[in-house]
């Protein structure tokens, strides 16, 4: 996701797709050389079967470079040239075509989902960064496959796939809403507990715990703590060691400097 965010404002190119595949597939392929390499005529193209009926055969490998260029052009196209297309629908079509064309020996699904996120962020849908569609897709793998087959069976009508993927995205948005509501309630509870009279923490420790609890990616070090509160390193170390002893924060095992983050069970350590 970090790489997708960094490249979201740049146009999609075949080379960027190859690099993305290399990132998501490295270390997971039978042949390491397949990472970031389009399938060739030497590869056995994977077809899709329904019992004894072949329901999908991807295009010949010789066409893949041109098809990937056309997919990149579509991803970059503007409404003035293609007519209005809702950005989520464009992102879903990119996802579909990647699975349909089957560019790589393996890792096509991961790359397709990554390009879905790239397209959404490219169009300014920043919230999609926090929406997880993979979990919902894994919950109903047969429905995901069926949405491809329905499209194949109905003269490449993408309506089925678009409807299904929109439902997946809406469920993921609802999951995010539920997570944010629970997190907000947890933070309110933490804030109340930190300000209770029975808690013997100084203002620096209370402020730090609130900040660390706000985002799981937040962490602090002795030097950053000392700089933030204008105290000496020893005072900062004593504060953090006390919070560690109480179970409110955890030391992160890294190279120097030592980092501290909030205990994921902070509400319980505060006896909320």
Domain membership of residue 244 (yes or no) is yes
Look at 66 and 109; give whichever has higher pLDDT: 66
Kindly state whether residues 74 and 111 are assigned to the same domain.
yes
Kindly state whether residues 118 and 215 are assigned to the same domain.
no
Q: 10 Å Cβ neighbour count for 148?
A: 18
pLDDT in the model for residue 181: 86
Per-residue pLDDT averaged across 56-63, rounded? 86
Lowest mean pLDDT among 66-75, 139-148, 200-209, 213-222: 139-148
Domain membership of residue 245 (yes or no) is yes
Look at 97 and 146; give whichever has higher pLDDT: 97
Angle between helices 233-245 and 203-214 (to 10 degrees): 70
Domain membership of residue 188 (yes or no) is no
Per-residue pLDDT averaged across 162-185, rounded? 86
Kindly state whether residues 118 and 232 are assigned to the same domain.
no
Domain membership of residue 251 (yes or no) is yes
The Cα-based distances of 87 to 53, 110, 220 in angstroms read 35, 20, 38
pLDDT in the model for residue 194: 77
Kindly state whether residues 109 and 242 are assigned to the same domain.
no
Kindly state whether residues 128 and 14 are assigned to the same domain.
yes
Kindly state whether residues 34 and 153 are assigned to the same domain.
yes
Reported as a single tens digit per residue, the pLDDT across 192-243 is 777 775 678 899 999 999 889 888 889 999 999 999 999 999 999 999 999 9
Domain membership of residue 186 (yes or no) is no
Which residues are CB-neighbours of 106 under 8 A, at least 6 positions away? 25, 28, 29, 30, 34
Domain membership of residue 189 (yes or no) is no
CATH number of the domain within which 221 lies: 1.10.10.10
Name the strand (E) or helix (H) holding 260: strand 259-262
Domain membership of residue 70 (yes or no) is yes
Kindly state whether residues 149 and 211 are assigned to the same domain.
no
Domain that holds residue 141: 2-40+47-175
CATH number of the domain within which 30 lies: 1.10.3290.10
Domain count, the chain: 2
Kindly state whether residues 207 and 161 are assigned to the same domain.
no
Kindly state whether residues 119 and 77 are assigned to the same domain.
yes
Per-residue pLDDT averaged across 263-271, rounded? 79
Kindly state whether residues 34 and 122 are assigned to the same domain.
yes
Domain membership of residue 194 (yes or no) is no
Most confident of 5-19, 95-109, 119-133: 5-19
CB 209 within 8 A of CB 190: yes
Kindly state whether residues 150 and 66 are assigned to the same domain.
yes
Kindly state whether residues 163 and 211 are assigned to the same domain.
no
Least Cα distance to 236 among 246, 248, 222, 249 occurs for: 222
């Amino acid at each position: 996701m970090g790489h997708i965010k960094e490249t979201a404002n740049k146009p999609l190119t075949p080379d960027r797709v190859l690099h993305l595949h290399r990132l998501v597939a490295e270390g997971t392929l039978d042949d390491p050389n397949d990472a970031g390499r389009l399938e060739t005529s030497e590869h056995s193209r994977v077809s899709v079967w329904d019992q004894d009926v072949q329901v999908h055969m991807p295009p010949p490998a010789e066409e893949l470079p041109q098809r990937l260029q056309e997919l990149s052009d579509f991803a970059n196209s503007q409404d003035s040239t293609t007519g209005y297309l809702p950005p989520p629908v464009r992102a879903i079509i990119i996802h579909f075509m990647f699975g349909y064309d089957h560019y790589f020996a393996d890792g096509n699904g991961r790359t397709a989902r990554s390009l879905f996120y790239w397209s959404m962020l490219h169009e300014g849908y920043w919230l999609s960064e926090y929406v997880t569609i993979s979990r919902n897709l894994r919950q109903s793998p047969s429905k995901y496959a069926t949405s491809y087959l329905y499209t194949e069976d109905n003269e490449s009508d993408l309506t089925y796939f678009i409807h299904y993927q929109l439902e997946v995205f809406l469920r993921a948005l609802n999951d995010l809403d539920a997570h944010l509501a629970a997190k907000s309630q947890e933070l309110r509870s933490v804030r109340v507990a930190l300000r209770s009279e029975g808690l013997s923490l100084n203002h620096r420790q209370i402020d730090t715990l609130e900040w660390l609890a706000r985002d799981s990616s937040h962490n602090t070090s002795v030097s950053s703590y000392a700089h933030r509160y204008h105290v000496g390193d020893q005072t900062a170390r004593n504060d953090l060691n006390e919070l560690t002893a109480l179970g409110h924060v955890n030391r992160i095992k890294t190279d120097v400097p030592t980092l501290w983050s909030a205990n994921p069970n902070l509400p319980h350590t505060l006896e909320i």
